[in-house]
Amino acid sequence: MAKFNAIDLFAGIGGQSVGLKKAGFIIKASVEIDKNAVKGYRQNHPNTKIFDYDIRQIDTQEIKKLLGNQPLHLLAGCPPCQGFSSVRRLNRKQSVRDDRNSLILEYLRFVKELKPLTIMMENVPGLINYYLFKKVVNELTELGYNPKFDILNVKDYGVPQNRKRLVLVGSLFGELDVSRVYVQKKKVKHAIGNLPKIDETTDEAHKIVANHIPRIQKMIELIPKNGGSRKDLPKEYELECHKKENVGFNDVYGRLKWENYSSTITGGCLNPSKGRFLHPEENRCITAREAALLQTFPKNYKIPTDISKTATGLLIGNALPPRFSYYQSKNIKNHLIQNLG
């Protein structure tokens, strides 16, 4: 069986790497600057060389040395483009100025200098209208990668979550499209329905859960089970910030529903004031383990437990769902087998 090498840029805690490995790729190196993410990545991918500093300072010659005479079969990456997330934009069309938006050009630099046989880039859907994305697509076309891109929903790939992502793929061999496969849909109950109570678990990540002042805890207890929301509350429990007209974020303090997909697991997933992140039945927010399972991380995936809840939520919410990564990576691997034997 042929072995295929991959590099994972902007690797985060390793969601994309999990999918790449499951699809059969050997991850020769990854790049991630966030120290908390690096800690989590190293715990789960100890054999991968990780460059834990600013990608703009990385000389790709170091990666070429790691590869030796072997080809780079796939360069994968999720450049952070927070200025284009719908949450940051509050659904406005224009992006928010953010220095990280230009990191997509670093992905392009790595393509130019490493000359991988195939490429895969994932991002928020809002990036599709950004001038730098269009510039990257044009340059990838000139480089011979014949790039294809589309906006996909991870729920169509067995992820129990409603989350749209922009995926771009390309190949020096010619036609390669993003993966569109029919897989069994998974819902919230499938992902987190069989976990032990948090006061009975030995899983430290399942003990990471928000604590609330008595008034907020009482409010949570009054929200109807299995899909209820703050709109179901008596008037006396309506928060001041929610009384204004046209206030957004209707899902805040909402419960997940067993037989439905979860809302998008964001960086605020461990705080019910940030979205529909309450447990379907228990009077609490979802735990770090539950958030990771809704992202399709393996049950035994190590989550750092010595950082703040806020930092933990960011690590999980910013990750690419591993199962979605797996199907996209497997599609590319099959393409490589067809062209390389």
As annotated, the active-site residues are: 81
Tell me whether strands 74-77 and 49-51 are parallel, antiparallel or unpaired.
unpaired
CA distance 77 to 58: 15
| Strand order through the sheet with 4-9 | 49-51, 25-31, 4-9, 74-77, 118-123, 164-171, 148-153
60 Cβ neighbours under 8 A, 6+ residues apart: 109, 110, 113, 114
- CA 218 → CA 215, 221, 271, distances in Å? 5, 5, 16
Cα–Cα distance measured from residue 50 to residue 25, given in angstroms and rounded to the nearest whole number:
16
Which two tokens mark 140?
A: 């990838």
What does 201-264 look like in DSSP terms, one character per residue? ---GGGG------HHHHHHHHHSPTTT--GGGS-GGG--GGGSSTT---TTTTPBP-TTSPBPP
User: Rounded to whole angstroms, how far apart are CA atoms 187 and 293?
Assistant: 11
3-state helix, strand, coil in the chain (%, to 5): 40, 15, 45
For CA atoms 261, 266, 272, 273, the dihedral sign is: negative
One-letter identity of residue 148: K
Tally the C-alpha atoms within 13 A of residue 52's C-alpha that lie toward its C-beta.
13
Q: Which residue has the tokens 């008596």?
A: 234
